[in-house]
A and B are shown apart, each in its own frame.
Chain A
Amino acid sequence: EVQLVESGGGLVQPGRSLRLSCTASGFNFNDYAMYWVRQSPGQGLEWVSGISSNSGSAGYADTVRGRFTISRDNAKSSMYLEMNNLKTEDTALYYCVKDAVGAIGAFDLWGQGTMVTVSS
């Protein structure tokens, strides 16, 4: 089955760290750029970070640059998001998403999301 499964979310205090994981199955993970997109409760979508298929390039939203680090392990078909110095405004459902087939920069596969709650 073609799917993305996120894990690692939870409740964390402001200033602490958390590491999210995304495991892919059913497609050749090595061939696609991957991304993290988040959605605060009842709000819109925010592009967070992206990484190329060979980890050669990565990008971040201004709101997380310097605090979050994206990485991937193609041998494990997995992607990660290391989140440091978390803020209350980072509270959101974090989706792992895949570049669309034949359409760089569009997202054709989404995970179910993992919830991150930053609160004291």
Chain B
Amino acid sequence: DAGITQSPRHKVTETGTPVTLRCHQTENHRYMYWYRQDPGHGLRLIHYSYGVKDTDKGEVSDGYSVSRSKTEDFLLTLESATSSQTSVYFCAIFSGNSYNEQFFGPGTRLTVL
């Protein structure tokens, strides 16, 4: 258990509404990531953070923004949700110190109607 929680775990929303997903970690890891998983696909990177207020885009960043105001929290925001953003969203951490693995949170299932 890498001490990662995600909230909410499930959310149904309507097209055009803003949505914020939260990733919280308890072990002071420097790197945090947001991925999305769609049916029949592996995970794809949306955004990542390499420190407080330090973020960068991933492969599928269009329509998403992120913020990291403190080490333990990494927020993913859909400013105006679209049906194409219906997906399962996973947060991950990487410490880069004693081990080189990414560990994943439990996921958030988002449905945009």
Tell me, yes or no, whether A binds B: no
